[in-house]
């Protein structure tokens, strides 16, 4: 089935090029030219109507950062739609802020269409789950933390902790390798399916958001531990 992408971007020429290229690769692109029209389309849609939002940072009626924040604040399943942010090249601060607000990935302009396609596929990738999901996919339990791969849900003390698709995949990559130290490059390879850039610190931002969601005290994490100079380790033995 064709996956539909909402592109919130005021450059109609760029939008047309992206729509044409992605259309040749099995995606349908709808373009909204303003922040307001993009949010309206998303709010008026049903969960699952858009597989992903491609969001420009600079919009004529507002900032893409604000749009990202408002999407994540929607009180419905729509809030978890994957977001890939388009940013100006050489603007790392805005990229980091975008990730902190809930974007799953970013792509600096100008970009190669093939790289855009690769990043979209990586964000949209889902683990193949055998049927029936309810019985064949075991839940992972670490003390008070429970990860349900079939439903893609995370709970602490029975309370659901909302995560973006990227953050859930990152948590699974670490939880499945609990007790092992994983470098940033290894984590990016596991989640994105591509070799990580040693200078890319976006994993640190996502880990920070994960800690905010699942740790009792994110400033003193017990579940996702930093191993200085090496990377991160998901603790195999956690709180009872």
- CA neighbours closer than 13 Å in the CB half-sphere of residue 222: 11
Does residue 189 form part of some domain? yes
pLDDT per residue as tens digits for the range 31-60 = 999 999 999 999 999 888 999 999 999 999
Indicate if 23 and 105 belong to the same structural domain: yes
Indicate if 138 and 224 belong to the same structural domain: yes
How far separated are the first and last CA of the chain, in Å rounded?
A: 43
- Measured CA to CA, the distance from residue 53 to residue 8 in angstroms comes to 7
Most confident region among 9-13, 73-77, 201-205 by mean pLDDT: 9-13
Look up the domain containing 207 and give its range: 133-234
Q: Are strands 105-109 and 83-88 parallel, antiparallel or unpaired?
A: parallel
Indicate if 162 and 217 belong to the same structural domain: yes
Angle between helices 184-192 and 165-175 (to 10 degrees): 120
pLDDT per residue as tens digits for the range 120-174 = 988 887 543 333 334 456 889 999 999 998 888 999 999 999 888 788 989 999 9
pLDDT per residue as tens digits for the range 172-211 = 999 999 999 998 888 888 886 554 454 456 788 889 989 9
Does residue 43 form part of some domain? yes
Does residue 240 form part of some domain? no
Does residue 174 form part of some domain? yes
* This prediction's pTM: 0.61
Domain-ending residue, one of 81, 96, 124: 124
């Amino acid at each position: 089935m064709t996956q539909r992408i909402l592109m919130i971007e005021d450059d109609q020429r760029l939008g047309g090029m992206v729509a044409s290229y992605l259309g040749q690769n099995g995606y349908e692109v709808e373009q909204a030219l303003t922040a307001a029209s993009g949010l309206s389309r998303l709010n008026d849609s049903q969960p699952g109507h858009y597989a992903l939002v491609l969001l420009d940072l600079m919009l004529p009626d507002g900032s893409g950062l604000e749009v990202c924040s408002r999407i994540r604040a929607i009180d419905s399943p729509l809030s978890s739609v994957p977001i890939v942010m388009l940013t100006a090249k050489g603007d790392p601060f805005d990229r980091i802020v975008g990730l902190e607000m809930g974007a799953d990935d970013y792509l600096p302009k100008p970009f190669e269409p093939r790289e855009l396609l690769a990043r979209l596929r990586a964000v949209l990738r889902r683990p193949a789950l055998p049927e029936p999901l309810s019985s064949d996919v075991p839940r992972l339990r670490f003390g008070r933390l429970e990860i349900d791969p079939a439903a893609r849900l995370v709970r602490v003390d029975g309370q659901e902790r909302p995560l973006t698709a990227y953050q859930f995949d990152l948590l699974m990559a670490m939880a499945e390798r609990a007790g092992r130290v994983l470098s940033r490059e290894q984590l990016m390879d596991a989640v994105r399916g591509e070799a990580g850039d040693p200078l890319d610190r976006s994993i640190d931002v996502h880990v920070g958001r994960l800690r905010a969601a699942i740790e009792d005290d994110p400033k003193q994490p017990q579940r996702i531990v930093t191993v200085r100079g090496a990377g991160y380790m998901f603790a195999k033995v956690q709180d009872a």
